[in-house]
Amino acid sequence: MTVAPHFDFKNGILHAENVPLPTLAEKFGTPLYVYSRQALRDAWEAYRVAAQGRDVLVCFGMKANSNLAVLNEFKNLGSGFDIVSGGELARVLAVGGDPGKVVFSGVGKQAWEMQAALKAGVKCFNVESEAELEQLNLVAERMGVIAPVSLRVNPDVDAQTHPYISTGLKENKFGIAIEEAPRIYQQAAQFKNLNIVGVDCHIGSQITEVAPYLDALDKLMLLIETLAGLGIQLKHLDLGGGIGIRYTDETLLTPTTLLDHVFKRLEARKLDYLQIVLEPGRSLVGNAGILLTKVEYLKHAEAKNFAIVDAAMNDLIRPTLYDAWHSVEQVCPAGHAEVRDYDIVGPICESGDWLARERQFALTQGELLAIMSAGAYAFTMSSQYNTRPRAAEIMVDADRYQVVRPRESLESLFASETTMP
């Protein structure tokens, strides 16, 4: 049984919705990213239902998956977008996304990115330092416009997640210390080309309990009340993203549970006039995608057994980077081979090139494996290391499928390079 309901076995063969995965592998080759359109819609529906009757703007954290087909799907469903670069803004505009529903996050916004976002008319800049505040005011002044700003504050809340995806502690690079926020808000209020509209917070990713959010919310509400006493009235409260997905047997936090708790606390403090902004990424796309790969060789050694596949760390770096655990499924399990413990590894010349460790399988050379829950922080983090073309991406809709990004050709990897005479 897979952890993603839109990828399931039918007659002993793993399918993406109604499409057998061997059909896609045969037609498009491997490694291959495969996304379920219905999974995207179902994930969005959970947020739509949770937000019903409330002033909530859901902005897809597109760093999780920025394929245009994915962005277009969420745009059509009514999503805004959380961006962290000028390139991501360009993608939103390419699919006709509404800039007025875009929040621009990130610690290192460059002047040209600010200019592009101001020209497009984004909803808000989530400013993360005093220096950035000054730069944004200068850019807006030169353009003769007013920049809408929110300060991203760091509440020093432990999200109880992996250190690399924890973003709300004092030692993290993100945001402004919440103790410093009132002073910096007052400073921002003095800039003629800035308009203060909100406060932003993002404490981490793959969060499965509501408590860390509520710990951060309590600190943010106190800050909002302090700012009101200083004459600074905010319009929105951005709680970031971070809701986790099921990789194995996690008990999940739902959007409804989160928003029910949030609005209950806001109402108790008479702060429910604020618009709530959420920036989910992983929870919208993580279980909507898989990475399909073929077993090239089986290597049985004294210390370890290796299944060497054609996908690698350049295709999916999460296991190497985060020690992340992804479920692995045999697409057509035959069961006639000997069951052994295998490390699933790729062909890249790095000892860190592994996708899964110590998994029990009865494997045969040439069979297909599916790396599950690979819709978030997967293709977007892929590279061309070892001059390996990045995988194709396929979107499945019931029994139909479409290439939404073709596999790169070898020639395209160095077509723009030149040699010295």
DSSP 88: H
Instruction: Check whether 225 has a pLDDT greater than 80.
Output: yes
Q: Is 96 annotated as a binding residue?
A: no
Last residue of a domain, one of 254, 280, 306: 280
Distance CA 67, CA 69 (A): 5
Distance CA 155, CA 104 (A): 20
Q: Is 279 annotated as a binding residue?
A: yes
Q: Are residues 407 and 364 in the same domain?
A: yes
Q: What is the pTM of this model?
A: 0.94
CB 130 within 8 A of CB 177: no
Q: Are residues 319 and 400 in the same domain?
A: yes
Judge whether 171 lies within some domain.
Answer: yes
Per-residue pLDDT band for 3 (boundaries 50, 70, 90) equals low
Residue-number span of the structural domain to which 265 is assigned: 105-280
Note the pLDDT tens digit of each residue in 30-64: 999 999 999 999 999 999 999 999 999 999 999 99
CB 111 within 8 A of CB 136: no
Instruction: Check whether 169 has a pLDDT greater than 50.
Output: no
Q: Are residues 388 and 248 in the same domain?
A: no
Last residue of a domain, one of 280, 304, 339: 280
CA 314 to chain centre: 18
Distance CA 224, CA 196 (A): 12
82: tokens are 């959380």
Q: Which amino acid is at 168?
A: G
CATH code at position 272: 3.20.20.10
Q: Is 377 annotated as a binding residue?
A: yes
Is 349 an annotated catalytic residue?
Answer: yes
What is the arithmetic mean of pLDDT over 328-333? 95
SS3 133: helix
Residue 248 pLDDT: 86
Per-residue pLDDT band for 159 (boundaries 50, 70, 90) equals low
Q: Which of 124, 201, 332, 349 is catalytic?
A: 349
Q: Is 400 annotated as a binding residue?
A: no
CA 253 to chain centre: 17
SS3 129: coil
Distance CA 215, CA 317 (A): 31
Q: Is 280 annotated as a binding residue?
A: yes
Residue 173 pLDDT: 61
